[in-house]
Amino acid sequence: MADHVRKTILRIQSHRRLSCLMLTALTPLCLALAPSALAATTNPDQMCSTTSSYSVNSVVGQLINRMGNVYTNYNGTPNDATAEFTAQTAGTSTVAISASGTFSIDAIIAGAQASTSITLTQSWYVGTGTSISITVPPYHYGNGEYGNWRWVTNGTYYTYGAYCQVTSSTNMRTSVPTNHDGWDTWIS
């Protein structure tokens, strides 16, 4: 690539996350660039040390990955009542992504981990026997579900070429297991 074209591309890239280069008068080539890719393209003589990354665009928060059914108990009395639920289904919670393709789970976990202080992991086993008691108001249902809390984010997965140029980008929602399980309860 000619040096003056490379400088023009770098100038465009420093001002926009989406850069377009006219390869011919009629064929634009557009690449979405991660902030780390912008810095990496400034030195085309240095080989890239990473092949992919995941950048969080927004955080959804913690959502439960339920193991088994929702537990429900109706209080048909005129007084508050206590409902007790005990987890009866075990299982393993793993990373889930909304896109199809081949992605590095380690890169996704590293990117998601940068958005939280909660410890994230590739998988988490959820056992049985854990109980919880909740107060259910008169003529209402007490509900509960037990499982692993997963950290959910929306972001972009970037794949890099030999000199850290972005070769592809994929928008996705990721759900990454945390290192704890528990109950989510509500009244309906």
- As given in the structure block, the two tokens for residue 116 are 């939280």
What's the domain count of the chain?
1
- Report percent pLDDT > 90 for the chain: 72
Range of the domain at 160: 54-187
* Full-model pTM: 0.71
C-alpha pair distances (Å), 96 with each of 22, 128, 182:
37, 22, 19
Compute how many other C-beta atoms are within 10 angstroms of the C-beta atom of residue 22: 11
Phi and psi at 23, nearest 5°, equal: -75, -40
- Residue range 57-75, pLDDT digits in tens: 999 999 999 999 999 999 9
Long-range contacts of 99-108 (CB under 8 A, 24+ apart): 99/157, 99/170, 99/171, 99/172, 101/170, 103/52, 103/157, 103/170, 103/172, 104/51, 104/52, 107/50, 107/52, 107/53, 107/54, 107/157, 108/54, 108/157, 108/174, 108/176
Average pLDDT rounded to a whole number, residues 142-147: 98
- Residue range 19-32, pLDDT digits in tens: 333 233 333 333 33
Segments in the chain forming alpha helices (H): 3-13, 35-40, 105-113
Query: Do the domain assignments include residue 13?
Result: no
Query: Do the domain assignments include residue 30?
Result: no
Query: Do the domain assignments include residue 143?
Result: yes
Confidence at residue 47, expressed as pLDDT on a 0 to 100 scale: 80
Query: Do the domain assignments include residue 15?
Result: no
